């Protein structure tokens, strides 16, 4: 019984923790511009992240060490350094975007300018990382993030033309009046948002934090294979809302308040209140994860003690990296750069860095020294390799497309 409860908790936490500011912005902007024609990208992204997250979780569960930790041993200091620099930079940018996202969510709830909230948010993010137990942190924000389901409730209450939505999703055609390069650029951004690198190494380090062992392999798989797709479904709900309310009117959502419009128009004040809790939980949870991931990546490359499973005094450099990252992330947002713009750049650059961050996972998950008999199956390797090929193509295409489409304008 207790087992069932903990499995259910893990799945629910995975669903609620899936969506972050990148997914919110990407899905809403894409739905408003291209309807459901890019829904397939979310599906591709979710399958990809399920594949690699399961691998990363399995590596940590079986070997007792996080994926990033093993990358340097397996691939050497130089290659791992390239991986580190790319991963850290992207994760840091995402951290800044999430801090901005939290501030925007609070601004929407209080009408107090988001910039004033940034220092408070940064402090709270750091404080929670410093003091709150890992599992409590994960469970609390994961479950609270489930409130985003209100957007799905709004959709259901509206009773839209489901056939039409499904048709749009299954017929990926560039809408009239839009260019093909822009469509592909948004596809790349959407993929970057769904497969953000930090999710994978956070998942792996988290497995070590929570002390998973072989007995938890099944839990790992269930969390990933049930939790993540349902989380992806929430992303698609945001896309559908934008398709139904924003696209017909030519509204381009550049503000969180516009993303909330579909829910407001169907469910009113209560719907908005619940949605705001969801936005807050999703972004704050992601800020915690990206903050910790900044620390994990640096500490695991250089080999210093990391983790919340030891006293802070026993992992000083890890905590220092986290602290400096959160401060610098807040600093970036305080330069009054639009947080939505920071988010857009973070997801696009994530897409460009995906092969660098995902390739080592595939290598480590195949190593019998660490994995014993739990190495990748042939199917997993085939699918994983296929994904890496796609990700390389995406990475190569990102910068040229960004220049060509003037970053999707």
Partner 1 sequence: MAGRILEAGLHLLDRQLIDKDGRLAGKVDDLELEFPSGGGPPTVTAILAGPGALSRRIGGRFGAWLEAVANRLRDGDDQHPARVSFAVVKGIDSAIDLSVPKRELETNRLEAWTRDHLIGKLPGAGDAPD
Partner 2 sequence: MRRPWVVLGLVLVVAACTGPVRSFPVYESKAGDTAEVVASAVETARLAVDAARDNKAHGRYLTQVLVEAEEDAGSAQGTFDGIQPPDRQADELRDRLDELLTEATGTLAELRIAARRGELAELPKLAAPLTEVAEGLHAFAEDHA
For 42, residues 6+ apart whose C-beta sits below 8 A from its C-beta are: 27, 190, 194, 232, 235, 236, 239
Residue 320 in the binding site for partner 2 (CB under 8 A): no
Which positions from 196 through 215 interact with partner 1, judged by CB under 8 A?
Answer: none
* Pick from 231, 253, 229: nearest CA to 241: 253
Query: In whole angstroms, how close is the CB of 393 to partner 2 at the nearest point?
Result: 18
Q: Give least dist CB 21 to partner 1, A.
A: 28
Q: Which of 272, 365, 375, 394 binds partner 2 (CB under 8 A)?
A: 272
Q: Measuring CA to CA, how many Å separate 326 from each of 139, 165, 301, 372?
A: 21, 40, 19, 38
Which of residues 80 and 354 has its CB atom nearest to partner 1 in the complex? 80
CB 68 within 8 A of CB 357: no
What is the distance between the alpha carbons of residues 313 and 127, in angstroms, rounded to a whole number?
15
Stretch that binds partner 2, among 103-111, 188-196, 206-214, 370-378 (CB under 8 A): 103-111
Tell which one of 6, 76, 173, 338 touches partner 1 (CB under 8 A): 76
**234, 149 in Cβ contact below 8 A?**
yes
Using rule CB under 8 A, residue 111 touches partner 2:
yes
Of 123, 49, 363, 108, nearest in space to 258 by CA? 108
Residues 6+ apart with CB under 8 A from 81: 301
Least Cβ distance, residue 235 to partner 1 (angstroms): 33
Beta carbons of 328 and 175 less than 8 angstroms apart: no
269 binds partner 2 per the rule CB under 8 A: yes
Binding residue for partner 1 (CB under 8 A) from 115, 217, 320, 334? 320
Assigned token pair, 264: 């407001």
Partner in contact with 280, chosen from partner 1, partner 2, none, beta carbon below 5 to 8 Å by kind:
none
Tell me how far, at minimum, the Cβ of 77 lies from partner 1, in Å: 6
Shortest spacing between CB 304 and partner 1, in angstroms: 6
Task: Work out which of 6, 257, 305, 385 binds partner 2, going by CB under 8 A.
Answer: 257
Based on CB atoms, which residue is closest to partner 2, 245 or 387? Answer: 245
Does 372 participate in binding partner 2 (rule CB under 8 A)? no
> 8 or 82: whose CB is closer to partner 2?
82
CA distance 248 to 245: 6
CA–CA dist 211, 314 (Å, integer): 18
Number of residues that bind partner 2 (CB under 8 A): 27
Does residue 292 belong to the site contacting partner 1 (CB under 8 A)? no
Which are the contacts of 169, defined by CB distance < 8 A and separation ≥ 6?
A: 36, 37, 39, 40, 236
The residue within the footprint of partner 1, chosen from 308, 348, 359, 375 (CB under 8 A), is 308
Of the listed pieces 88-96, 110-118, 274-282, 308-316, which binds partner 1 according to CB under 8 A? Answer: 308-316
Q: Interacting stretch for partner 1, rule CB under 8 A, among 173-181, 235-243, 258-266, 311-319? A: 311-319
Binding residue for partner 1 (CB under 8 A) from 183, 198, 370, 387?
370
> Is the separation of the CB atoms in 355 and 395 below 8 Å?
yes
User: Which listed residue (173, 218, 310, 389) binds partner 1 by CB under 8 A?
Assistant: 310
* Least distance in angstroms from the C-beta of 154 to partner 1: 39
Contact call for residues 36 and 243 (beta carbons, < 8 A): yes
The dihedral region occupied by 66, where left means phi > 0, alpha psi between -120 and 50, and beta the remainder, is beta
Residue 38 has a CB neighbour count (10 Å cut-off) of 25
Cα 99 from Cα 105, distance rounded (Å): 10
Complex with partner 2: residue 61 or 91, whichever CB lies closer: 91
Q: What distance in Å separates the CA atoms of residue 381 and residue 359, rounded to the nearest whole number?
A: 11
58 lies in the site for partner 1, by CB under 8 A: no
Q: Does 249 bind partner 2 (CB under 8 A)?
A: yes
3-state secondary structure 195-231: CCHHHHHHHHHHHHHCCCCHHHHHHHHHHHHHHHHHH
Structural contact between residues 184 and 37, judged by C-beta atoms closer than 8 angstroms: no
Q: Which residues bind partner 2 (CB under 8 A)?
A: 107-108, 110-111, 177, 245, 249-252, 254-255, 257-258, 260-261, 264-265, 268-269, 272, 399, 402-403, 406-407, 409
Q: Which residues bind partner 1 (CB under 8 A)?
A: 63, 65, 69, 72-73, 76-78, 80-81, 130-131, 133-134, 302-306, 308-314, 316-317, 319-320, 323, 369-370
């Amino acid at each position: 019984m207790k087992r069932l409860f903990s499995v259910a908790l893990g799945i629910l936490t995975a669903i609620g923790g899936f969506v972050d500011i990148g997914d919110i912005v990407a899905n809403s902007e894409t739905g408003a511009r291209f309807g459901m024609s890019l829904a397939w990208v979310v599906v591709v992204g979710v399958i990809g992240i399920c594949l690699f997250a399961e691998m990363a979780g399995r590596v940590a569960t079986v070997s007792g060490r996080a994926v990033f930790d093993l990358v340097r041993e397996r691939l050497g200091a130089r290659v791992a350094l390239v991986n580190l620099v790319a991963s850290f930079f992207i994760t840091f940018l995402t951290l800044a975007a999430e801090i901005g996202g939290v501030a925007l969510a609070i601004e929407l709830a209080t009408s107090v300018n988001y910039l004033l909230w940034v220092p408070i948010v940064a402090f709270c993010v750091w404080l929670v990382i410093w003091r709150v137990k890992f599992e409590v942190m994960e469970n609390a924000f994961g479950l609270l993030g489930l409130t985003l389901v209100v957007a799905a409730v709004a959709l259901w209450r509206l009773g839209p033309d489901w056939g039409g939505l499904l048709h749009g999703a299954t017929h990926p055609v560039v809408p009239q009046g839009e260019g093909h390069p822009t469509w592909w650029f948004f596809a790349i951004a959407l993929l970057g948002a769904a497969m953000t690198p930090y999710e994978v190494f956070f998942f792996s380090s988290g497995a070590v934090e929570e002390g998973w062992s072989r007995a938890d392999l099944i839990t790992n798989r269930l969390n990933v294979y049930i939790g993540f797709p349902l989380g992806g479904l929430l992303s698609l709900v945001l896309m559908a809302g934008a398709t139904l309310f924003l696209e017909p009117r030519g509204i381009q959502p550049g503000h969180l308040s516009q993303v909330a419009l579909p829910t407001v128009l169907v469910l009113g004040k209560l719907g908005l209140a619940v949605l705001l809790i969801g936005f807050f939980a999703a972004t704050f949870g992601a800020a915690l994860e990206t903050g910790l991931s900044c620390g994990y990546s640096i500490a695991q490359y250089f080999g210093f003690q990391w983790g919340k499973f030891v006293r802070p005094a026993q992992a000083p450099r890890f905590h220092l990296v986290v602290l400096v990252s959160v401060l610098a992330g807040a600093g970036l947002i305080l330069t009054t750069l639009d947080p939505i713009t920071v988010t857009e750049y973070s997801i696009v650059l994530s897409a460009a860095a995906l092969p660098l961050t995902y390739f080592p996972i595939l290598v480590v998950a195949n190593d019998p020294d660490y994995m014993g008999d739990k190495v990748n199956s042939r199917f997993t390797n085939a699918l994983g390799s296929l994904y890496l090929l796609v990700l390389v193509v995406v990475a190569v295409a990102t910068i040229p497309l960004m220049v060509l489409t003037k970053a999707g304008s």
